[in-house]
Structure 1
Amino acid sequence: MARLPNLRWSAMRRISDALQEAADPGGPAITARIACLPRMTKAVARGDYDEVTAGHLALLAAAAAYVVSPVDLLPEALVGVIGLADDAVVLAWLAKTLTTDTDRFLEWERRRGHTVRGERIS
């Protein structure tokens, strides 16, 4: 039972770290990150952006659906605080992954504005 507080603390710390990274001064605003998600999805679907796969985007969507869904692997009503831990872990992963993915995509868009279509920057 002592492991549960450590798991919850770790998940909460990852969420906090991801949110702080997303809100870094000089970094993209959270609204810019959210606004780029449809563009990123279209770029992946067209094959223009290959740093993220369609499967990865599907996993992100599934994680978001899991967090907001009333259906839960470990229901809070039955197992109490332990039921919150799975949501916290999924939310922490989702926040960190979205931060990383949107950073990369926004940088790709920025670089792409300065390149000739078809030219690849390494």
Structure 2
Amino acid sequence: MAKTLKRTAAFAALGRALTAGARGGPGLGTRLAALPRMIKATASGEYDGGLRLAMMTAATIYVISPLDFVPEAFLAIFGLVDDVVAATWLAGAVLAETERFLAWEARQKGVIPGTVLP
């Protein structure tokens, strides 16, 4: 059930990203430009996207690597299905995570670092 909800959220983010220009939300270019900042914020411990970035990195490696769980050479079209599923998940995950990161980044701009005085 949880996997289905996460998958649904990723596809919903994909749909929102593709129609963002018409609604005034962050476009694809803005989201892609946020990736290096998201990686840097995660590496420094400011942002909590470590596991999600690791999963996206693993999916990227799987899609571009010549090794496959289901080889195309033997199973033709069925061998491509796992790559399509991984690439689709990756696209949705990147869009969902960049949307989450951009919202987090917007909230951080309103925070003034320092000590709270009683």
TM-score between both structures, scaled by the size of structure 2: 0.75
Kindly indicate whether the alpha-carbon contact (under 8 Å) linking 1:23 and 1:30 is maintained by their aligned counterparts in 2.
yes
- Give the direction of change, closer, same or farther, for the CA distance of 1:16–1:47 in structure 2 (3 Å limit): closer
CA distance in 1, matches of 2:16, 2:113: 31
**Match of residue 94 from structure 2:** 98
Equivalent AA in structure 2 for residue 108 of structure 1: W
- Give the direction of change, closer, same or farther, for the CA distance of 1:113–1:68 in structure 2 (3 Å limit): same
CA distance in 2, matches of 1:65, 1:100: 19
Count of aligned positions: 105
Equivalent AA in structure 2 for residue 92 of structure 1: T
Deviations 1:56-85 (A, max 9, x none): 212211101211222221111211111011
Unaligned runs of 5+ in 1: 1-13
Equivalent AA in structure 2 for residue 57 of structure 1: L
Unaligned runs of 5+ in 2: 1-8
Kindly indicate whether the alpha-carbon contact (under 8 Å) linking 1:15 and 1:96 is maintained by their aligned counterparts in 2.
yes
CA distance in 1, matches of 2:114, 2:60: 33
CA distance in 1, matches of 2:110, 2:55: 31
1:27-38 alignment, distance < 5 Å: 27-38=25-36
CA distance in 2, matches of 1:113, 1:62: 31
Kindly indicate whether the alpha-carbon contact (under 8 Å) linking 1:15 and 1:92 is maintained by their aligned counterparts in 2.
no
- Whether 2:70 is the aligned partner of 1:63: answer no
Query: Taking every aligned residue pair, what percent have the same amino acid on both sides?
Result: 44
| 1:76 aligns with one of 72, 75, 83 | 72
Shift of 1:20: 2.8
> Following superposition, which runs of at least 4 residues in structure 1 exceed 4 angstroms of deviation?
14-18
Kindly indicate whether the alpha-carbon contact (under 8 Å) linking 2:34 and 2:98 is maintained by their aligned counterparts in 1.
yes
Shift of 1:44: 0.9
